[in-house]
Amino acid sequence: MKDRRVKNGMALAAILAALAIAGCASAGRPSSVTVTGSGSARARPDTVNMTISLGHVAATTREAQAEVASMVARALGILRDMGVEERNIATAALRFSPEYEWLSQGRVLIGQRAEQSISFSIEGIDGENEGAPSRAIDLLIGINGIELQGMRFVARDSAGLQRAARETAFRNALEKAEQFAGLSGLSVARALSIVEQGAQAQPALARQALAMDMAMAEAGAATELPAGEIEITATVVIEFLLR
């Protein structure tokens, strides 16, 4: 019985010694905390990017393209008269294709289709050109066969907004790290690693909404295009050294 107690005591001592060594090793490793921070920056858009498509169907591709060329000339004249700079106007696509119609007897060729897409940007919509996007639509819908394919409000200084969002995200992460450090009886020393998982969100009008705006303009109602605000977000994962 005495030998068994001795052996049990020696085993317990060995376990305590192992735990002490493990504790020393753990204490020698620097303490750190990893947190996620998020931030955002908002601003009024100052530029709108728009894409229009002008198409026509005729008996031949040459006839269809001649009509489209005339439509494009009218559209470009409207944009230039509005003061849109040449550097902000570009051809986005040029397409030629047969046009079919599905009837009871099957697919029937009805002509040849020509289509040209034009992309352009209107700047200064946060100031003197605030109503320019609406005026552009109201003027362009006078061209039969035109389609507004896309519209997007943007900010030219998106890099500045991104920097502001990153700074807010970093401060948010630091605040969390300082809270955890305080709960642990420690303080934050510095950042050990930073990983950005940023995302950028900008509002864009849906194609269905654009079609509705065009229909309202054709009916005689002035087009209204609220621009709202642009919000850019940033997310960072940071490991902080604690002391």
pLDDT per residue over 54-74, tens digit each?
Answer: 999 999 999 999 999 999 999
Which of 18-22, 130-134, 184-188 is the least confident region? 18-22
Q: Where are the domains of the chain?
A: 28-45+156-243, 48-154
Q: What is the pLDDT of residues 201-212, one digit of tens each?
A: 655 443 434 444
- Taking 80 as the threshold, does the pLDDT of residue 20 lie above it? no
- Taking 80 as the threshold, does the pLDDT of residue 4 lie above it? no
Q: Give the per-residue pLDDT at 204.
A: 43
Q: Give the per-residue pLDDT at 61.
A: 98
Helix or strand or coil: residue 129?
coil
Residue bearing the bigger pLDDT, 166 or 223: 166
Q: Give the per-residue pLDDT at 56.
A: 97
User: Is 28-45+156-243 in CATH node 3.30.110.170?
Assistant: yes
Backbone Cα Rg of the chain = 33
What mean pLDDT value characterizes the chain?
84
**What pTM does this model have?**
0.69
Q: Between vectors from CA 195 to CA 191 and to CA 201, what angle results, nearest 5°?
A: 125
Same fold, 28-45+156-243 and 48-154: no
Q: Give the per-residue pLDDT at 228.
A: 85
Among left, alpha and beta (phi > 0; psi -120 to 50; other), residue 124 is left
Burial class (CB in 10 A: 0-12, 13-18, 19+), 69: middle
CATH of domain 48-154: 3.30.70.2970
Q: What is the pLDDT of residues 123-135, one digit of tens each?
A: 999 998 999 999 9
Question: Residue 220: which H helix or E strand, with range?
Answer: none
